[in-house]
Amino acid sequence: MNETIYPVAIFFAAIFTNNILLTNYLGMCSFLSVSKELKTSLGLGAAVTFVMATTTLLNWIVYHQLLIPLKLDYLRFIVFIIVIAAFVQLVEMIIERVSEGLYAALGIFLPLITVNCAILGVSLFMVIREYSLAASFAYGLGSGIGWSLAILAMAGIRQKLAKARVPKGLEGAGITLIITGMMALAFMGFTGMINIS
């Protein structure tokens, strides 16, 4: 286990210097389509953060307590996806029973989240980098917040963009990608902020 990497440092690094979307390119599909509206972006961001943090934790436990002792670690792709899908399903059912309001706000996002590559990606990175339990949770939570930050910023920009004149060929996905690129450039300015040692 990697004890030399501190969870707090990973938390901040996951938000800024190694943002799961702007640096690792994950979670693009829903990012591109949902970032048109600020309110929905907020909802999706919250849902993603919640699911990401919890499933990373769950997957760590499953991986280290179940898969490795049984020498089934090569099945982790399937198992992680099942854990994520099952968890999302469970959350959806609970929210539906418990709170109509919350379900109306977040419920529609949940199926979208199951196929969000960022969520599976975070679990896979955690395995490759051999994080401890605390570090994995920090990484999951931080990545979720980082993703939410990116989508909120994008939504804010796109609202202003609606009034600007964009070349026809760039409308929609094109201009969004260019803005994403610029955001990625901007976030690179955070490099050096985090000292992991």
Write out the binding residues for another protein, residues 120-179 only, by CB under 8 A. Answer: 120-121, 124-125, 127-131, 167-171, 173-175, 177-178
Q: Does 49 bind another protein (CB under 8 A)?
A: no
Residue among 38, 42, 46, 115 that touches another protein (CB under 8 A)? 115
Output the CA–CA distances (angstroms, integers) from residue 116 to 20, 27, 31, 61, 73, in the order listed.
Answer: 12, 5, 9, 21, 22
**Could you tell me where the DSSP H helices lie in the chain?**
7-15, 28-34, 38-61, 76-98, 100-106, 109-114, 117-128, 133-161, 173-188
**Whole-angstrom distance, CA of residue 16 vs CA of residue 183:** 11
Instruction: Kindly tell me which residue out of 39, 74, 97, 165 binds another protein, with binding defined by CB under 8 A.
Output: 74
Which of 26, 145 has the CB closer to another protein?
A: 26
Contacts of 131 (CB under 8 A, 6+ apart): 2, 5, 10, 60, 139
41 forms part of the interface with another protein (CB under 8 A):
no
Interacting residues with another protein (CB under 8 A) = 2, 4-5, 13, 17-18, 22-29, 32, 74-78, 81, 85, 115-118, 120-121, 124-125, 127-131, 167-171, 173-175, 177-178, 180-182, 184-185, 188, 191-192, 194-197
